[in-house]
Amino acid sequence: MRSHPASMLVLTCLLLTGQTACAQNTMRPATTDPDGTVHTNELALAVPILDGEVMPEQTDAETAAFLDELSSVEITALRSQMIATRFFEFADTQTRKGNLYYTASRSSDGDVVRKFGAYFNTLFVGTFSEAGAREEPYQRAFVFDGRMLIEIDEDTNPRLFKRREVIGPGEKLDPMSLDQGIFPLPIGQKREEILKRYNARLAPAAEGLMVNPSDAEFWNEKEIIFFHALAKFHQDNKSVQLVLEPRNGANSDMRQIRLWYTQTDAGDGASVWLPSLARTIDGAGDISFIQLQSPAINGRAEVPEGALNLQPPADPRGWTIPSIEPYREAIVNAPDSSRE
């Protein structure tokens, strides 16, 4: 199975920002004290070599065992509330809220077909927990139906229903895989598949969420409260953090992936580790957070009928419905979107 990094970067940008092109750099700058001491913003950069951590070339036994436990979880359906937050150096924070749906089923030929949908209904400009944050209409959806990425924008006039092929004929895509996915979470991936491309280690729940006091000037008070609240939640719930970084020579859009897992009720008295937070840093240094709240899996996950099998509107009046973008065109000539 081949992966297509250019295509996957387009999908990730769409999911996190609502755009097909992401900003080149949103990192907060380092500061230098009068004595010459350089302080980097660990929250923004989170590159282990900057804070003294070095990712191991060989994964330790505890991390390997946790990866094995994750791969043993069989998820046929997942539903969760979702909050996607993006921080900009010279612009207001943007937060999108909505719902996430995922299904995995077997086709008539025995292949696993994975589908994914992100339905957003609210956009906050400014830290969304802040009373002064501006709430804007935002009815957008991004759905991967096993072959195409479907984008729906109901805030434009006319409304938009757009389809693009993101994989070639006969190929398959796992929308949650680390090297191919729209939403990079290693659910069901084998340990060997992950370690072939990434170094991995377990980390304390608060790592990567605490703002260095020397860097506090780059974040407003509400943002710092937001980060520390995330850290407290994952500490209180005894979450496990998994840190992944590409091995030398690995082809990856992501410089670093931090995943927080929390024990979740799977029914019949069983519990499983499910992702509750993801923080990614891509090759350009752009930083994004995705929170999953109140997740449910398998028999407890109610995926609305038709949510992952979208068809063009029966009545096209009031809609723009372009022709399907072919696979190669979707990768090479993905257009920019002016909407944020």
| pLDDT for the residue numbered 86 | 80
As a residue count, the chain comes to 340
CATH class of 5-21+48-332: mainly beta
pLDDT of residue 157 exceeding 90, the answer is: yes
307 confidence band (pLDDT: 50, 70, 90): very high
| pLDDT for the residue numbered 239 | 92
- Most confident option among 2-11, 236-245, 277-286: 236-245
Per-residue pLDDT reduced to its tens digit, 243-259: 988 887 665 677 888 99
CA dihedral angle for residue 314, residue 320, residue 326, residue 327, rounded to 10 degrees: -90
pLDDT of residue 306 exceeding 70, the answer is: yes
pLDDT of residue 150 exceeding 50, the answer is: yes
* 177 vs 282: CA distance, rounded Å: 16
CA dist list (Å): 206 to 21, 134, 275, 276, 277: 31, 29, 15, 14, 12
| β strands within the chain, DSSP E | 31-32, 38-39, 77-86, 94-106, 112-125, 134-144, 148-153, 159-165, 198-203, 240-246, 254-267, 270-282, 287-297, 319-320
| pLDDT for the residue numbered 142 | 93
pLDDT of residue 76 exceeding 70, the answer is: yes
11 confidence band (pLDDT: 50, 70, 90): very low
Cβ proximity of 241 and 284 under 8 Å: no
pLDDT of residue 227 exceeding 70, the answer is: yes
* Three-state secondary-structure class, residue 252: coil
- The mean per-residue pLDDT over the stretch 205-227 comes to 71
pLDDT of residue 39 exceeding 70, the answer is: no
Per-residue pLDDT reduced to its tens digit, 52-73: 344 445 678 999 999 999 888 8
pTM, two decimals, is: 0.76
Instruction: Looking at the chain, list the stretches that DSSP marks H as alpha helix, in order from N- to C-terminal side.
Output: 5-17, 42-45, 61-71, 191-195, 221-236, 327-332
197 confidence band (pLDDT: 50, 70, 90): confident
- The mean per-residue pLDDT over the stretch 110-126 comes to 88
Share of the chain above pLDDT 90, in %: 29
Nearest alpha carbon to residue 203 among 136, 151, 277: 277
**The two structure tokens encoding residue 48:** 């282990």
